[in-house]
Amino acid sequence: MYFRDMILKKTYALTFIAQLVLFLSLQSCQEKKQPLPIKKNNLAEINRLIKLGDANFDKQKYQSAFYYFNKAKSACDVKKDTAQIIHCISNLATIQQNQGDYSGSETTAIEAIPYIENNKNPNYKWNIYTILGTNNLYRYDYHNALYYNTLALNLNTDISRKSGIKNNIALVYMEMGMYQKAIQILTLQISDKHLLSIKLASLYWRKLQLE
């Protein structure tokens, strides 16, 4: 009788263990089959933050603008919201540049490179290349200043953007002491000698601000 009871107890124990293992296995399978949560589309919220950033930027409230652009960038999907990411990075880098943080601005602007390479809008590339060109000019890295400004010049953009980049390139040459090269670039744009003199005076004034 004693041995029968022992056998029954062992049988019950083995049955319990088997049922427990089966239960845990089924629960594990159910957990694996549960679909991953779908990320909600926050494009409306991203655009709201960007609009606040733009409004504060226009009012020269750069600290607030920086906050909203940075928050919008963090909320973006790196695969779907590339245009919004580039817009935010451009403005963040511009704010840093305006405050004299040229190294920080360059680091921020370079973040946009992977996104602009796959974007068909040339104006986005123009913005980033112009920022990088200006940062390098203010850091006296004339080689890279010419490099990025030339990249911007070769893009398929409108006349005003091309004119602005040519002015930047002329200023770089002036900083390098290559005045004839600068005059040559500006002469191709301006046929009126009076306007040319005004433009040269304007560039010279910018040159003085760099020193």
Tell me, what's the pLDDT at 193? 56
Helices (H) and strands (E) in the chain, counts: 11, 0
- Residues in Cβ contact with 31 at an 8 Å cutoff, skipping those fewer than 6 apart: none
The C-alpha angle with vertex 103 and arms to 102 and 106, in degrees rounded to 5, equals: 85
DSSP assignment, residue 118? T
Q: CA-to-CA distance for 159 and 9, rounded, in angstroms? A: 92
pLDDT in tens, the chain (211 residues): 444 444 434 444 445 444 544 555 555 544 444 443 444 568 999 999 999 999 999 999 999 999 999 999 999 999 999 999 999 999 999 999 999 999 999 999 999 999 999 888 999 999 999 999 999 999 999 999 999 999 999 999 999 999 889 989 999 998 998 988 888 888 776 654 555 566 566 666 655 555 5
At 136, give phi and psi (nearest 5°): -70, -30
Q: CA-to-CA distance for 199 and 191, rounded, in angstroms? A: 12
Q: At what angle do helices 43-58 and 62-75 cross, to 10 degrees?
A: 160
Element (H, E) at 53: helix 43-58
* Whole-structure pTM value: 0.74
Tell me, what's the pLDDT at 153? 96
Tell me, what's the pLDDT at 203? 61
Tell me, what's the pLDDT at 191? 55
